[in-house]
Structure 1
Amino acid sequence: MHYAAKNRRLRSIDTQKFFEIYDRFDVNYTDESGLSHFHVTCKFGCCDVVVKFLEAGQDPNCIWQETGDSPLHLALEMGQWDDVSEVLLRHGADANLTNKEGSTPLHVICRMDEFDETEELVDLFLRSLTS
């Protein structure tokens, strides 16, 4: 799963099916680069699986060591700005974390083509920054 996710050979539906079969939410498992199953589920928008990880004690700010990306970065970069991003923010994701390129999740949003559609998310981000 990690190889497929890194090489963009995985789709949201594949990730969802994997966790229906696997049904194990190990919050400590990562590959050699620091990519976890939680990172993959955030990246591919599997909101119900993201919630299960968070309920199992997953840190919403765990960093993918190779890139410095947080789960919030990964969700936003793949266009998962609605459900997954909102769940992460409501569970304590830090909107100020920077990755190795120096980008915060808000920078990722600002680079999106569909910026007009993200107004609600920007509002949620701004509220999380002031709380």
Structure 2
Amino acid sequence: MTVKYTEDHEWIAVTGSTGRVGITDYAQGQLGDVVFVDLPAAGVLLEKGGEAAVVESVKAASEVFAPVTGKVTASNAHLEAEPSLVNSSPEGDGWFFEVELSDLAELDGLMDAAAYKDYVASLD
């Protein structure tokens, strides 16, 4: 499994040609307590950089952007009943959706964990 990150604080964990997408610990920390998520339905086609989901917290609502182009194969139904999973496990049980990647080469434009850590450090 390969994990990559975007400058918009999404992560994608890729196994084969399928990726699981969520927001990073940094992003959930900036949002505060998550109270609602609006996830894409299976079958929806996403464009890299396009809006894929919405996450609402006590502070604000924020878009979640697709880190890659592809078709949604599943959404995390647990988040509808328990959106706080985004806060307690943002890079684990709090994942948003899974996507079948259209072009694996798009991953080359994303950051690895070390580069993302440096990027976040530059924001403080």
Q: Which has the higher contact order (CA 8 A, sep 6+)?
A: 2
> Which interval holds the TM-score relative to the shorter structure?
under 0.3
In proportion to residue count, which structure has more helix? Answer: 1
Q: TM-score normalised to the size of structure 2?
A: 0.23
TM-score by length of 1: 0.23
